[in-house]
Every structure is written in C-alpha cells, then in structure tokens.
Amino acid sequence: MYSNALGLGGAQGTQDAQGAFQAGPGYDYAVKQGLQGVMRNASSLGNIASGNTAMALQDRGNQLANQEYGGWLNRLQGMDQLGLQTAGAQAGVSQGLGDRLLGLAGDRAGINWAADTGTGAARGNYEMGKDQSGANIFGGIMGGLNLGARLLGGGMGG
C-alpha cells in the first residue's frame, strides 16, 4: 500500500491507495468535523450561503485531506519498515540455521571419515597380521625342514 501511495504501483495503485485512505475512519471523521466547524462559523455569522463559505469549506477539506494523508503515509511507512526489519530478522535466523546445519554436516563428515579411516586401518592391520602369521608359519616349516635335512645329512655322513 505504501508503494502504491507513493505512486510506484501506477495509476491503478495510486487510485487503490487513495481509496483505502478515504475509506479509513480517521479521515472521514476529521473531514466531517472540520466541515461542520466551518459551517457552524458561517452560520453564526449569517454567511452560510456565501462564496466565502464555499471557499472556506473547500480549503478546510483540502487542508484536512493533506494533513491526514501525510499522517497516513507516515503510518504506512512505519509498517513498511517493520516488514523490512522482520524480513531481515527472518533472513538472519535462516542464515544461522543454515550455518549450523552446514557445521553439523561437516562434523558428521569428519566423524564418518575418522570411522572409515579407523576401520580401514584396522582392516589393513588385520590383513598384515594374517600375512605375517602366514609368513611365520612358512618360515617355521622351512626352518624345520632345514633342521631335518641337516640332521639326516649329518647323521648319514658321520
């Protein structure tokens, strides 16, 4: 409404804003009271049907309309500012939530990486241990065969 009242909504927007302003109870009351005051004054002077009274009525109506319209614009501007502040606050909350979710995702990724890395290392150590055990068994067999060959060879030659 504020944008329309400033003329930013085109002719139709301006017309809509003026209609909303004139439909407001404050404007209607102020105009009626102001015009009645002019009429009472003219009546008390006996000039109710004069051209001066007609001009006074028009001037008073215009003054009240301008004054009330300015106040109405100020109230609309305050509402417009409140809307902007609310939108800014909502954006800040959304950004904070997004930052927090990003942090949680990073934390989770770090935990998963550490778990995966730890699991991989444990698996690698297990496989190396199996290989080492196999090598130790093979070495033991070969050592036993070597000992056996020496004993058999030494006993036969001696």
pLDDT in tens, 7-33: 788 899 878 887 777 766 676 777 777
Please state the separation of Cα 27 from the chain's center in Å.
37
Rounded Cα–Cα distance for residues 84 and 111 (Å): 40
pLDDT tens per residue, range 63-98:
777 677 777 788 888 776 766 677 777 877 778 777
Contact (Cβ atoms closer than 8 angstroms) between residue 3 and residue 13: yes
Task: Look up residue 130 and give its amino acid.
Answer: K
Per-domain residue ranges for the chain?
2-157
Read off the pLDDT band of 116 (50, 70, 90): low
With 0-12 CB in 10 A as exposed, 13-18 as middle and 19+ as buried, what is 48? middle
For residue 37 the two structure tokens come to: 């005051």
Contact (Cβ atoms closer than 8 angstroms) between residue 35 and residue 57: yes
Please state the separation of Cα 78 from the chain's center in Å.
21
